[in-house]
Amino acid sequence: MKSFLLVPKESIETQARPGVRGTAQGERVLVRSTALRFGAAQKAPDALTALGLRSATLPGMKPAISGQEPRGRKRAGGRKSAGTRGAGASTVPLPGAPVTEQTGSEAGSYRYMPLIGATMAHFYSVDAENAARGELAEEFEFIPDVVPLSFPGPVSAGQTGPRNRGMSSLAQREWPDESGVPLAHAQGIRGAGVMLGILDTGVDADHPEHASKTIQFRYVSLFPNSPHNPARDVRGFDPDGHGTHVCGIAAGVHHGVAPEVDLYAASVIESETIRTSLGRVAAGMEWLLHQFSRPENASRPAVVNLSLGFPLQPPPGITEADYLLNQRALQTMLRRLLDSNILPVVAAGNSGPDTVGYPAAFPEALAVGAVDFERTVATFSASGTVGRRVVPDVMGYGVNVYSSTERRCNNQAFYERMSGTSMAAPYVAGIAALYRCRAPDLTALEVRDLILANAIKLPRSGGHRTGKGLAVFR
């Protein structure tokens, strides 16, 4: 089986454009743009259906697409009952055997993702792949889903504990006055009305830091585009704890920067391997855009936090051409966020100077490095120059940051200090949410400019770059 992300060549080569603007009652209102600007996008699912591939499109109503009439959704690939899930599959995982996708007798399967303008296809035979290329290669890039992505996991930075059992109550709040967070909260600016999307290992929705709010959650399986392994909307869980820590920094009700945001979390990173794929990230991104584009959400401000990516150079066994295609596809997804007036905040990485990867190196990203609470740059914080772009754009607190992690079987809840740009990024995402809460009519790019303009300048530390400085709310 081979998997490809099919993206219109015109789309992948076009620069991001601002989202749609409109007016209402004399105020500027930014309606989320879900327009398919490239007519070729619909050709892929139509051609794959004609070739016998099975649809695994997300269940439920699709948001309206600008310039198109609503279309009916085929039920092929819909959820099966619990008693028949995977029935007729030709590949059944056995104990001790490698995990493989269940496949049916069809030529393959696909998931059409209209809001990012792409289709993810699984071909179960070479003949099916060749037939699809014959139909679509002229207008579409066939991007092989073979490059593993990973997140910059927590690193050791001196103090790491101790873990704190039960409801946590720090003697002093984590965020210093210079961050502007205490002032914002005192003024009633706590993120209300803002949507925050997080792609990570998940979130423990029953942790005391999160249990009082409703978290929209999607688990994206190892095989997100297969009708035999559907993605699921369930109560939030997180076997790793990393995603719960990230969510707590940005949106925790006791310790979060923006505790009143509406949280949308997609589990796209496997807790055991700390790896993900282009297909899982695409499925998670599409789900976020579906949620953000619902009629009741279409004009609400939004931020997305990403702590994952590629290194600058291809991993062993991956050709440079395939690697470049994967990079361009990920960049296209970030463009779709900006097109939809959503600000993407990305961790720069934890490998130190001259080690910047993607998507932090893309100009569409607001790339975040890490400092401690004394404004000293963390030794692990990635920085560097890629072409004309200097990374990071801005810094956030990312050393020994206190947040929620996990619960034991007896329901004891844990808080823990972790370090990494994965901690700095949700701090900045929370700052962005505070700005978007105070001024919801600003565009994503205007909020980005506001964060950079108000940052506290930092001196360059050795080989580390610090961008515009420490992100704060003013």
Give per-residue pLDDT as tens, 299-319. 999 999 998 777 777 888 888
Among this protein's residues, is 339 annotated catalytic? no
Residue 351 a catalytic site member:
no
Cα(294)–Cα(313) distance, integer angstroms: 38
CA pair distance 222, 204, nearest whole angstrom = 19
> CB of 382 within 8 A of CB of 187?
no
Q: What are 433's two structure tokens?
A: 């949410």
- Is 200 one of the catalytic residues? yes
CATH 3.40.50.200 residue ranges for the chain: 150-454
Greatest mean pLDDT range, 96-110, 141-155, 441-455: 441-455
CA within 13 Å, CB half, 52 = 12
pLDDT band at residue 469 using 50, 70 and 90 as cut-offs = very high
pLDDT band at 234 (very low <50, low <70, confident <90, very high): confident
pTM for the full predicted model:
0.85
What sign has the CA pseudo-torsion 70, 73, 79, 80? positive
Q: Is 370 exposed, middle or buried, given 0-12, 13-18 or 19+ CB atoms closer than 10 A?
A: buried
Distance linking the first and last C-alpha atoms of the chain: 52
What is the arithmetic mean of pLDDT over 157-167?
A: 47
3-class SS at 31? coil
What number of other Cβ atoms are within 10 A of residue 440's Cβ?
A: 18
Residue 382 has pLDDT above 50, yes or no: yes
Which range, 24-33, 68-77, 287-296, is most confident?
Answer: 287-296
Q: Quote the tokens at residue 88.
A: 């007729």
Q: Determine which of 71-80, 123-132, 140-149, 463-472 has the lowest per-residue pLDDT on average.
A: 71-80
pLDDT at 16 over 80: no
Which residues make Cβ contacts (< 8 Å) with residue 363, sequence separation at least 6? 389
Distance CA 430, CA 108 (A): 41
CB atoms within 10 A of CB 442: 19
Distance from C-alpha of 398 to C-alpha of 373, rounded to nearest angstrom:
8
Q: What angle do CA 269, 273, 279 make, to 5 degrees?
A: 40
Question: pLDDT band at residue 99, thresholds of 50, 70 and 90?
Answer: very low
CA 2 to mean position of chain CA atoms? 24
Per-residue pLDDT band at 101 (split at 50, 70, 90):
low
The one catalytic residue in 33, 109, 200, 290 is: 200
pLDDT tens track for 261-284:
999 999 988 765 666 788 888 889
Active-site residue (options: 242, 254, 290, 464)? 242
Q: What local confidence, expressed as pLDDT, does residue 155 receive?
A: 62
145 Cβ contact list (under 8 Å, min separation 6)? 3, 4, 5, 120, 277, 278, 279, 326
Each residue of 173-193: pLDDT tens digit? 679 999 999 999 999 999 999
Separation CA 367–CA 390 (nearest Å): 10
d(CA 358, CA 327): 7
Backbone Cα Rg of the chain: 22
Tell me which residue of 391, 374, 393 sits closest to 432, measured CA to CA.
393
Catalytic residue (choose from 168, 179, 381, 422)? 422
Note the pLDDT of residue 240.
Answer: 82
Residue 273: the pLDDT is: 60
User: pLDDT digit string (tens) for 134-149?
Assistant: 999 999 999 988 777 7
> pLDDT band for position 164 (50/70/90)?
low
Task: Please provide the DSSP assignment of 290-322 as one string.
Answer: HHHTSTTTTTS-EEEEE--BB-SSPPTT--HHH
The pair of structure tokens assigned to 471 is: 């992100």
Both tokens assigned to 309: 């990516």
Between 43-50 and 126-136, two packed helices, what is the crossing angle to 10 degrees? 140
Q: How far apart are CA 368 and CA 391, in angstroms?
A: 8
Q: Is the dihedral of CA 16, 22, 28, 32 positive or negative?
A: negative
Asked if 465 and 356 count as a contact pair (C-beta separation under 8 A), the reply is no
SS3 327: helix
Residues 401, 427: Cα–Cα separation, whole Å: 10
Q: Is 150-454 a domain of CATH 3.40.50.720?
A: no
Predicted local confidence at residue 276, as pLDDT: 73
Q: How far apart are CA 474 and CA 461, in angstroms?
A: 25
CB-based contact 367:361 (threshold 8 Å): yes
Question: What's the whole-number average pLDDT of the chain?
Answer: 81
Q: Exposed (0-12), middle (13-18) or buried (19+): which is 156, by Cβ within 10 Å?
A: exposed
- With tokens 């620069």, the residue in question is 15
pLDDT band at 15 (very low <50, low <70, confident <90, very high): low
- Can you give the pLDDT at residue 58? 53
Lowest-confidence region among 131-135, 303-307, 456-460: 456-460
What is the pairing mode between strands 302-306 and 342-347? parallel
Tell me what pLDDT residue 94 has: 38
SS3 breakdown of the chain: % helix, strand, coil, rounded to 5? Answer: 25, 25, 55
The upper half-sphere exposure of residue 413, i.e. CA atoms within 13 Å in the direction of its Cβ, equals 18
